[in-house]
Chains A and B, each alone.
Chain A
Amino acid sequence: MTPRIVELRQGLLKKNDQLAAALRARFRDARLFVVNLVSSPGTGKTRLLEETLTALKSAGHRPAALVGDLETDNDAMRLARSGAPVRQIQTHGICHLEADMVERHLAGWNLADHDFLFVENVGNLVCTSSYDLGESCRVALLSVTEGEDKPLKYPGLYNSADIALITKIDLAVACEFDRQTAHKNLLNLRPGLQLLETSAKTGQGMTEWVDCLLERRRAHLAGP
């Protein structure tokens, strides 16, 4: 018997990638800037998002959010206090969000009513990096409590990010967090990565973060 080779060269995430591309086109038509927030559990994604939604709303913007967790709608209830429309995505055991989950949870929303959509991914530093959600910008959080070498341990995720946000910066001294090394590690993993430091609790760096979002949205809408 002579075996023959069938050449395929097909990505295993093709379906997700196609759906994400279709979402990206819809978001663009609606002039909606979409941010995918990724990190390990406990870096403060929800707290950051609470403050971000509140700040954007008070500046006259129209943000909305989807929040992914394995179970419970606790985070959606927390975020809804900002007054922004929020929906919970419960993955029931799946460790990441996929484009079709995002699409299904947008049903009934008029995208053009909003200018920012935040997608808070499931807390996971590995699997979330493989799935394109159609976002305009991927933001990876690193909290000072995790240590400056965390990015080196999970290179795939930090490499896939457009912005790295070092969170809980108010705790940096107490945690003996080595900022310089953290910056170096992140930039080695992804040259050109934009770095910001925030504390959603004290407000430190929050103005720069919100300004960065506004600037990125402007550039995104003006872009090709």
Chain B
Amino acid sequence: MHELSIASNLVQTVTDALADSPSVRILRVRLRVGVLSSVEPESLQFCYDIVTRGTRLEGADLEIITVPLAIRCPACQLDVDLPKHTDLRCPRCGQPSGAIVRGKELEVESIEVVDPAEDTP
């Protein structure tokens, strides 16, 4: 259970990224979480609601985009999505491959903000 520290890192990352624009309001944070990232989206959401209290992120939505696992198949020369992340072989030709190209992400993709001049209640 390390989602609490991950959520704290998230607050820090977003706060740092918007340090130069202290007056913008944050509406939404978009996160990419790979299926092999060892992070559980539901508990991350739970921790997010707690750690954002009293910060600039309070009230902002957290959108978690789950990234499926994909490998580079050396035989097909293609990046292929895998239906199961416990079997790393190409679904087209059956070739095993440890060359993961997607599915381990744990990153802030983007932040949706609104500028204060336009922020009319």
Contacts and interface: CB of A to CB of B under 8 A. Distances in A.
Contacts of B100: 159
B107 A126 contact: no
A13 B9 contact: yes
Contacts of A5: 110-113
Contacts of B23: none
B61 to A, nearest CB: 11
Contacts of A15: 9
B18 A6 contact: yes
A4 B113 contact: yes
Interface in B38-78: 38-39
Contacts of A193: 98
A149 to B, nearest CB: 10
A30 interface: no
Contacts, number: 109
B112 A155 contact: no
Nearest to B7: A12
B36 A6 contact: no
Interface residues of A, number: 36
B107 A11 contact: yes
Contacts of B31: 12
A11 B112 contact: no
B98 A190 contact: yes
Contact of B96 (A4, A96, A156, A191): A191
Interface in A1-23: 1-15
A127 interface: yes
A223 interface: no
B106 A130 contact: yes
A53 B27 CA distance: 54
B112 A191 contact: no
Majority SS at the chain A contact face: mixed
Nearest to B18: A6
Contacts of A188: 86-89, 96
Contact of A12 (B9, B86, B115): B9
A2 B114 contact: yes
B118 A155 contact: no
A138 to B, nearest CB: 13
B1 A95 contact: yes
B98 A130 contact: no
A158 to B, nearest CB: 9
A192 interface: yes
Interface string B81-121: 00001111100000011101000011111111111001110
Interface of B: 1-2, 5-6, 9-10, 13-14, 17-18, 27-28, 31, 36-39, 85-89, 96-98, 100, 105-115, 118-120
6 contacts: A8-B108, A10-B13, A15-B9, A126-B2, A130-B38, A187-B96
